[in-house]
Homo-oligomer: A and B are copies of this chain.
Amino acid sequence: MTKFRDIEIRAPRGSKLNAKSWLTEAPLRMLMNNLDPEVAENPKELVVYGGIGRAARNWECYDRIVETLKELNDDETLLVQSGKPVGVFKTHADAPRVLIANSNLVPHWATWEHFNELDAKGLAMYGQMTAGSWIYIGSQGIVQGTYETFVEAGRQHYGGDLTGRWVLTAGLGGMGGAQPLAATLAGACSLNIECQQSRIDFRLKTRYVDEQASDLDDALARIKRYTEEGKAVSIALHGNAAEILPELVRRGVRPDMVTDQTSAHDPLNGYLPAGWTWAQYRERAVSEPAAVARAARQSMAVHVQAMLDFQKQGIPTFDYGNNIRQMAKEEGVANAFDFPGFVPAYIRPLFCRGIGPFRWAALSGDAQDIYRTDAKVKELIPDDAHLHRWLDMARERISFQGLPARICWVGLGLRAKLGLAFNEMVRSGELSAPIVIGRDHLDSGSVSSPNRETEAMQDGSDAVSDWPLLNALLNTAGGATWVSLHHGGGVGMGFSQHSGMVIVCDGTDAAAARIARVLTNDPGTGVMRHADAGYQEAIDCAREQGLNLPMLGR
């Protein structure tokens, strides 16, 4: 059971197959791409992002997945159980080639404690969301989500103009690292606290953050200068959010927006307790895990208290989906949930139309393939200025990591349209190799996560997880190329169940039929779930798009 290997993995490029077809080549390249040093946070330990979100359980499992995918026939399906390839079974051409289940635990045992026990025995793997389901594409994925959130917050609170405003946040990891760039794209300054210098360096290098301040005073001086000048500059600050936020409250500093993206969902691995160094934290996580998790939770309580203090001053404050409110609540901060999650605050109206982080990657490795799809999106969706602006900014400001990829938030109707168009471009040779299309698990129809995606549902069905299970079954029935079911992504063990899917556009008619089904059904389940909960936007969308929802009528 090898957890560390001194190796650099990069997905094969070009149009030559290493597996028997593009349907198996695609998961092979995307697994490898998840571990590309440009993409993954800690690829030598198989960690893609989000604390300990892995692509395979250990290196022996990785090797066997790769070998198995190379041999897999187009009427066979590989089963992957928490990152381990456990079986190959006979299915058929229109069935998924890979079925994945990661980190799922029977509810009564669905805690970090039990997970860690299993993990120590080599029986578990944390799949996060797109880490264990092989469709992480680096920080770009999250940039648009964060950008859309900041833009929507700006619209709600500042009349749509964030010039001269600044965002206070923490965490510059795999996802959180998107915050400074997203704030800049949205027109705001930002102060980004991060406790690991290496993370700041990485974000400076990739141009996601503009500058690093030497200390808090310097940071505040820079914020003052740039907001006065009306420039949207992002500042990184090395330090601990659990120390700096309370200090800002004490000093009476007033940001224009407050959020957080430390890995609070995982107290043992993702959140540095106040007063500790990162090295101490990693070491003691092994020697005394219970005490470490407790210390982290205590610091989170302090951190959340400061966020509540900002909110009390009327500053828009929201949880960015890392479950920090829950942790603080368990530590005694009774009103931790006074500030909302970003989904009910800003995202749910989009979910009602099946809109969310849709993405695709060019298996060729050729950036031109993505630029051609960018142009195709503009051609097919000619009058969405916001979308066009995003595509232009993304091309200009976002470096590809690993295989070139693009993300853009579209919903029911447009997804199938784009997928079919990309498939045609592969068929005609306009693209140099097939495209894979997937999405995040932060999604309209494929996740139940009562502290995040399904927080405060209108009918109270936040915790009902039939929906993501149906989504996974339906995507399997429709013929997605791989389908996954995860537990605990984003918000940690016990707090979410969710499903992923990826589908290959190989330019064939068979692929077109599958794409039309899957890229309709997948966002369709999101519209269905929200319509069932009573959201009028979703009911309207279902009618417009001709969904057949038996209890609602057409």
Q: B123–A470 contact, CB under 8 A?
A: no
A262-313 CB contacts (< 8 Å) to partner B: none
Q: How far is the CA of A289 from the CA of B448 in the complex (A)?
A: 27
A488-517 CB contacts (< 8 Å) to partner B: 493-497, 513, 516-517
Interface pick from A15-23, A74-82, A198-206, A388-396:
A74-82
Known contacts A121-B459, A472-B473; decide if A466 and B81 are in contact (CB<8 Å).
Answer: yes
Q: A464–B105 contact, CB under 8 A?
A: yes
Q: B517–A91 contact, CB under 8 A?
A: yes
Q: B91–A478 contact, CB under 8 A?
A: yes
Q: A82–B466 contact, CB under 8 A?
A: yes
Asked if A107 is at the interface (CB within 8 A of a chain B CB), the reply is yes
Asked if A61 is at the interface (CB within 8 A of a chain B CB), the reply is yes
Q: A524–B89 contact, CB under 8 A?
A: yes
Q: B528–A86 contact, CB under 8 A?
A: yes
Known contacts A86-B551, A92-B479, A550-B86; decide if A485 and B464 are in contact (CB<8 Å).
Answer: no
- In the complex, the chain B residue whose C-beta lies closest to that of A514 is B92
Asked if A32 is at the interface (CB within 8 A of a chain B CB), the reply is no
Known contacts A92-B479, A473-B476, A549-B87; decide if A463 and B121 are in contact (CB<8 Å).
Answer: no
Q: How far is the CA of A159 from the CA of B111 in the complex (A)?
A: 44
Q: How far is the CA of A532 from the CA of B99 in the complex (A)?
A: 17
Q: B478–A473 contact, CB under 8 A?
A: no
One complex includes copies of this chain to the number of 2
CB neighbours of A497 from chain B (8 A) = 104, 106-107
- In the complex, the chain B residue whose C-beta lies closest to that of A459 is B123
CB neighbours of A438 from chain B (8 A) = none
Asked if A220 is at the interface (CB within 8 A of a chain B CB), the reply is no
Q: A524–B87 contact, CB under 8 A?
A: yes
Q: How far is the CA of A405 from the CA of B443 in the complex (A)?
A: 43
Say which residue of B86, B121, B463 sits within 8 Å of A532 (CB atoms).
B86
Asked if A547 is at the interface (CB within 8 A of a chain B CB), the reply is yes
Report 24 cross-chain contacts, Cβ distance below 8 Å, ordered by A residue: A65-B550, A77-B474, A77-B477, A82-B464, A84-B532, A86-B532, A88-B550, A89-B478, A89-B524, A90-B517, A90-B521, A94-B94, A101-B473, A104-B466, A105-B465, A106-B463, A106-B495, A107-B494, A108-B110, A108-B494, A109-B462, A118-B461, A123-B464, A476-B477
